[in-house]
């Protein structure tokens, strides 16, 4: 919606929008809107309308990761955010329906990329991934790091020290796709519990679409007495409220095109714990980093942030080793 509101009033615009858009009444009146139902037939009709009506001096902006199916006149720019479409990530953890959808979209993007004038991405790491994929061969790849609210963003935090007055110790704003890495995060919380540490963690998982994951998390909560609370899928104002009620953002996602919650957390003045990965360093310098595939690494980062020292490894000299191996073993 902010993009539509930012369009000049004297610019002639036609917007093809998903009919499920909840903010339909907020679309500016000067925009000629074509509502498209989420069916294959209606999508094809919209694509055919675009091919027949676009002219050579028109600019076509595609915000759904995919270029037009049919050849169109004019300049075509594609805003690409889905890394599953350009990198060979395994889809084994997805349902058959989702695997089929992503597979078809990969084919769609690769087969229609030649008619794209330029691609738009949000970060240097996304630009490198798209370039390496070969899909954007000889095409400009422009970096436009778009967020609807850019005020207050800082690369580094003002205060990395934890406070004891917040409702939650840590917050993870993410949906439930496999790369969001919730299971590894909860395994880290179980490791902390085994050491007698029980920090609070807030999640934002949609109960309708991630029920098996939520069920597994509840099992871990019960087994290890974890202090984890799921707030469900919240509107943006609800997420902003959670930022105010939390002392730090933890973000274990294994890959992102941007990682918007990282920026929003900085805007809210929160410290950030995140993987030592390119997509994170593209946008900020976190207070603590970890290996996103290691529950132990995540747990150690949490302890460092909370000011809890890791016990040193009890190194032994040769005499002590022999004594313990030969004498104490008897």
Instruction: For residue 319, give both structure tokens.
Output: 């005499």
What does the pLDDT look like over 179-227, one tens digit per residue?
999 999 999 999 999 999 999 999 999 999 999 999 999 999 999 999 9
Which stretches in the chain have pLDDT values below 50?
Answer: none
| Domain limits for position 193 | 168-305
Contact status, residue 133 vs residue 153, Cβ threshold 8 Å = no
Query: How far, CA to CA in Å, does 138 sit from each of 62, 105, 133, 141, 228?
Result: 19, 21, 12, 9, 48
pLDDT at 323: 83
- 34 within a domain of the structure (yes/no): no
φ, ψ at 34 (rounded to 5°):
-115, 115
Instruction: For residue 194, give both structure tokens.
Output: 């085994």
- Regarding whether 127 and 210 lie in a shared domain, the answer is no
- 9 within a domain of the structure (yes/no): no
- CATH number of the domain within which 207 lies: 3.40.50.2000
- Regarding whether 98 and 203 lie in a shared domain, the answer is no
- Regarding whether 286 and 185 lie in a shared domain, the answer is yes
- 233 within a domain of the structure (yes/no): yes
Instruction: For residue 52, give both structure tokens.
Output: 């027949």
- Regarding whether 70 and 129 lie in a shared domain, the answer is yes
* End position of a domain, from candidates 143, 160, 177: 143
- Regarding whether 287 and 214 lie in a shared domain, the answer is yes
272-275: strand order across its sheet: 228-230, 201-203, 168-172, 246-250, 272-275, 288-290
- 175 within a domain of the structure (yes/no): yes
Contact status, residue 234 vs residue 261, Cβ threshold 8 Å = no
- 89 within a domain of the structure (yes/no): yes
- 19 within a domain of the structure (yes/no): no
Query: How far, CA to CA in Å, does 226 sit from each of 82, 185, 191, 296?
Result: 33, 12, 10, 16
Distance CA 149, CA 166 (A): 24
Closest CA to 249 of 270, 277, 231, 232: 270
- 189 within a domain of the structure (yes/no): yes
- 326 within a domain of the structure (yes/no): no
- Regarding whether 219 and 111 lie in a shared domain, the answer is no
What does the pLDDT look like over 69-104, one tens digit per residue?
999 999 999 999 999 999 999 899 899 999 999 999
Please list, in sequence order, all residues whose beta carbon lies within 8 angstroms of the beta carbon of residue 161, skipping any fewer than 6 positions away.
none
Instruction: For residue 3, give both structure tokens.
Output: 């993009």
């Amino acid at each position: 919606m902010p993009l539509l509101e930012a369009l000049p009033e004297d610019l002639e615009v036609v917007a093809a929008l998903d009919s499920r858009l909840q903010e339909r009444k907020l679309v500016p009146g000067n925009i000629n809107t074509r509502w498209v139902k989420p069916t294959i037939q209606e999508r094809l009709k919209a694509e055919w309308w675009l091919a027949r009506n676009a002219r050579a001096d028109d600019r076509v902006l595609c915000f759904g990761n995919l270029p037009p199916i049919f050849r169109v006149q004019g300049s075509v720019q594609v805003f690409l955010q889905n890394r599953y479409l350009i990198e060979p990530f395994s889809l084994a953890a997805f349902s058959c329906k989702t695997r089929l959808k992503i597979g078809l979209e990969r084919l769609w993007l690769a087969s229609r990329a030649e008619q794209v004038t330029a691609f738009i991405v949000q970060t240097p790491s996304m630009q490198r991934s798209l370039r390496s994929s070969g899909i954007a061969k000889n095409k400009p790849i422009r970096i436009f790091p778009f967020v609807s609210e850019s005020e207050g963003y800082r690369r580094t935090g003002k205060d990395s020290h934890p406070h004891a007055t917040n409702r939650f110790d840590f917050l993870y704003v993410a949906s439930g796709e496999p790369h969001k890495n919730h299971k590894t995060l909860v395994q880290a919380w179980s490791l902390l519990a085994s050491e007698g540490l029980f920090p609070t963690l807030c999640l934002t998982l949609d109960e309708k679409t991630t029920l098996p994951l939520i069920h597994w998390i509840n099992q871990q909560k019960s087994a290890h007495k974890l202090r984890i609370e799921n707030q469900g899928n919240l509107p943006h104002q609800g997420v902003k409220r959670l930022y105010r009620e939390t002392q730090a953002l933890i973000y274990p996602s294994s890959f992102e095109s941007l990682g918007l919650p990282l920026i929003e957390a900085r805007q809210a003045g929160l410290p950030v714990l995140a993987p030592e990965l390119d997509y994170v360093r593209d946008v900020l310098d976190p207070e603590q980093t970890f290996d996103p595939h290691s529950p132990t690494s995540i747990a150690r980062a949490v302890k460092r942030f909370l000011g809890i020292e890791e016990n040193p490894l009890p190194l032994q000299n040769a005499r002590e080793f022999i004594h313990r191996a030969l004498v104490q073993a008897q």
